[in-house]
Homo-oligomer: A and B are copies of this chain.
Amino acid sequence: MAPPNKLTLPLTPICLLVYLWCFGVFMTLALGSKARHFKWEVDYMYATPDCLENVVMGINGQFPGPTIKARAGDTVVVHLTNKLHTEGVVIHWHGIRQFGTPWADGTASISQCAINPGETFVYRFKVDKAGTYFYHGHYGMQRSAGLYGLLIVDVEEGKKESFHYDGEFNLLLSDWWHKGAHEQEVDLSSNPMRWIGEPQSLLINGRGQYNCTLAPAHNSNGSSLPVCKFRGNEQCAPNILHVEPNKTYRLRVASTTALASLNLAIGNHKMVMVEADGNYLQPFSVNDFDIYSGETYSVIFRTDQNLSNNYWISVGVRGREPKTPQGLAILHYKSTTSSKLPNLPPPKTPQWNDYTRSKSFANKILAFSGSPRPPTNYTRRIFLLNTQNRINGYTRWAINNVSLNLPSTPYLGSIKHGLTSAFDQKSPPETFVNTYDITMPPSNPNATYGNGVYKLEFGKTIDVILQNANALNANVSEIHPWHLHGHDFWILGYGEGKFSKKDEKKLNLQNPPLRNTVVIFPYGWTALRFVTDNPGVWAFHCHIEPHLHMGMGVIFASGVHLVGKIPEEALSCGLTGKLLRSNNHN
């Protein structure tokens, strides 16, 4: 079988212009202007993410949604109209801290009421820090349904990055199921729970190839997939990154996977890690790197390889036994024809359960010199035990034995307005019993539902020790990437087993990296520190969407009395809606 002999770039510059026009992106063109306006409509549409047609959630007819490009200091204004027929929608701007605009964080039940069908909500927020970000749905399983896109913030006009590059590319990584997100929700909420299984495909910029590959001759991960039958301009044809030889490129990579932990590599090319979650790193060289759901990285690489070849960029599953073929893109040296397929095999993804390797990589990530350091002491330390449980036969994830069940009135409004009946007023547990055996399935698998809030004093230093444990089945402990809204945190360290006094001295207070997402490894702990410097209510949760759906998250509230007037549109539902209507009896 001969490989397909034509691969063309589906987004030509002309198409791009037409896209920008058609999809209603009207950017303020006046020089010096810092408000960037976007008019978006969310609707379901048919697409072929992995060559199989499926319903996806698109924005302005695009999947993934349009890439927002802005500069540090700009204000992004997204007029989001919900064109769905019966569903609400919100969009979370992942990694944007929303200083002063906690109602624009885009989390249903937390920062705002979901936008009703036919209605428009205006997200207006400042992107204060350059970096690689993304956005996604944060209601039900709408991220799994395909509601996501990139948000790239460049340095301020006239400023330069500390590292040089000649060009840049963005890769948005996601995983894809053929079963619709609604049905997945029903599966997860069934008794007994029906697990959604591993994704059918991995997508790079919304493109995957289900059950076929362009690299059959040397499929590196042992599968025997048939050759993809491309004619060249399919929606699912792999992305091609056109590069000049002997140049330096920046690759911005974001993972919005629902489940999969990934590893990315470029055939023959070394990369240098320079940015993570919008924060600069102490540069270090890698052949490949792990990226968990909710994380972003920038790497730079030099096109210093044989310029008569092209090279595979491969993305594969780690942390779970992989049942999904690698996602592929092509690095195309302009010195060759773009139709030429790489003659080397795609880089092999490291063994999925080689956690020593994963931890080694994680521990190499350190802050760029001159980055802010964490306060030396913490005010409060919260231990969060991650367990899988059962409640009345339903499978749930719980934190300190409480499984998050989001309220119908968003916290930001109910706390601001003192509506105490909107959620559990009792604070959730600060820790777990110290006799808990994290190496075994829970001896008592029963947990409770809850929606209480950790009230954090404003302006204080908070430590969180995320403690992993064994799941319901013996000898299973999963990876969980935890994402904090509204803040970056310092990763003070990772460790094995249960966190204990003796681990204290291992914590890195010198050059810990600032991130918004951090993983806990199986049977291990992760320590992080942050300062409550952002008034609002903020979710902190496992970024695996089905895990969050099954209760794996907590809520932090801090300085809500300092929050300014919340737009009424964010409060129109539930008890806040009732309150706002209560003075006016028509």
Contacts and interface: CB of A to CB of B under 8 A. Distances in A.
A573 B119 contact: yes
A455 interface: no
A114 B118 CA distance: 12
A454 B584 CA distance: 30
A580 interface: yes
Interface string A564-586: 01001000111001111111111
Counted per complex, copies of this chain come to 2
Interface string A5-49: 000000000000000000000000000000000000001111000
A118 B408 contact: yes
A16 to B, nearest CB: 22
A305 interface: no
A585 B568 CA distance: 9
A15 B65 CA distance: 50
Contact of A116 (B89, B114, B190): B114
Interface of A is mostly: loop
Interface stretch (A168-176, A181-189, A220-228, A354-362): A181-189
Given A44-B185, A580-B586, A118 B574 contact: yes
Interface in A185-217: 185-186, 189-190
B88 A44 contact: no
A584 B578 contact: no
Closest 4 pairs (CB-CB, A-B): A118-B408, A583-B584, A86-B140, A85-B140
Given A88-B116, A88-B117, A583-B584, 10 more contacts: A44-B182, A85-B189, A86-B108, A118-B408, A118-B574, A119-B408, A119-B573, A579-B584, A580-B580, A582-B584
23 contacts: A43-B189, A44-B186, A45-B186, A46-B190, A55-B183, A55-B186, A85-B185, A85-B189, A86-B89, A86-B114, A86-B139, A116-B408, A116-B573, A118-B407, A119-B408, A119-B573, A180-B183, A182-B182, A417-B586, A568-B578, A579-B584, A580-B586, A581-B584
